[in-house]
Amino acid sequence: MSDLYTLSVKDINLDSVDLSTYKGKTLLIVNVASKCGFTPQYKDLQRLSDKYKDQGLEVLGFPCNQFGGQEPGTNEEVQSFCDLTFNVSFKLFDKIDVNGSNASPLFKYLKHKSPGILGTEAIKWNFTKFLVDQNGVVIKRFAPKDGGSAIEAELIKII
């Protein structure tokens, strides 16, 4: 499987972003949705981004509509919702699939490097989070229910 930094993704404006631009940064990569019970976690994600950005943290949000149709909007609608509801300033990307034959290569990579319970690679729901260190190593996978304090406890060990 390829190295994280050889992958490229599209941002919310459909511009190509090489993940190599994040070398040396700590990443928190999350599949997000606007109409999910976990959507209030945008607050935690923004708080972590604000608190640790100067120490090299980049939060990367990837909208996904694979779970209960909870991200039905266009990229523009997602961006507007995040701006107006949560004042999100971290980077948002093009809507993706995280499971199945059309799964994003990034999420295939993350799932392979950090499988879930019992070794399953499938993502179970929105707001699954992956913490990646400054060298591109996937440190930990967080379940959708894991909020900001659980993430921060791991983040402070590597930032």
Neighbours of 130 (CB within 10 A): 23
Q: Degrees (nearest 5) of the Cα angle 101, 104, 105?
A: 100
Q: Which of 36, 60, 98, 151 is catalytic?
A: 36
Whole-angstrom Cα distance, residue 84 to residue 87? 6
Per the annotation, the verdict on 82 as an active-site residue is: no
Sheet of 138-142, strand order: 91-92, 57-63, 26-32, 129-132, 138-142
Query: 10 Å Cβ neighbour count for 56?
Result: 15
| Residues annotated as part of the active site | 36
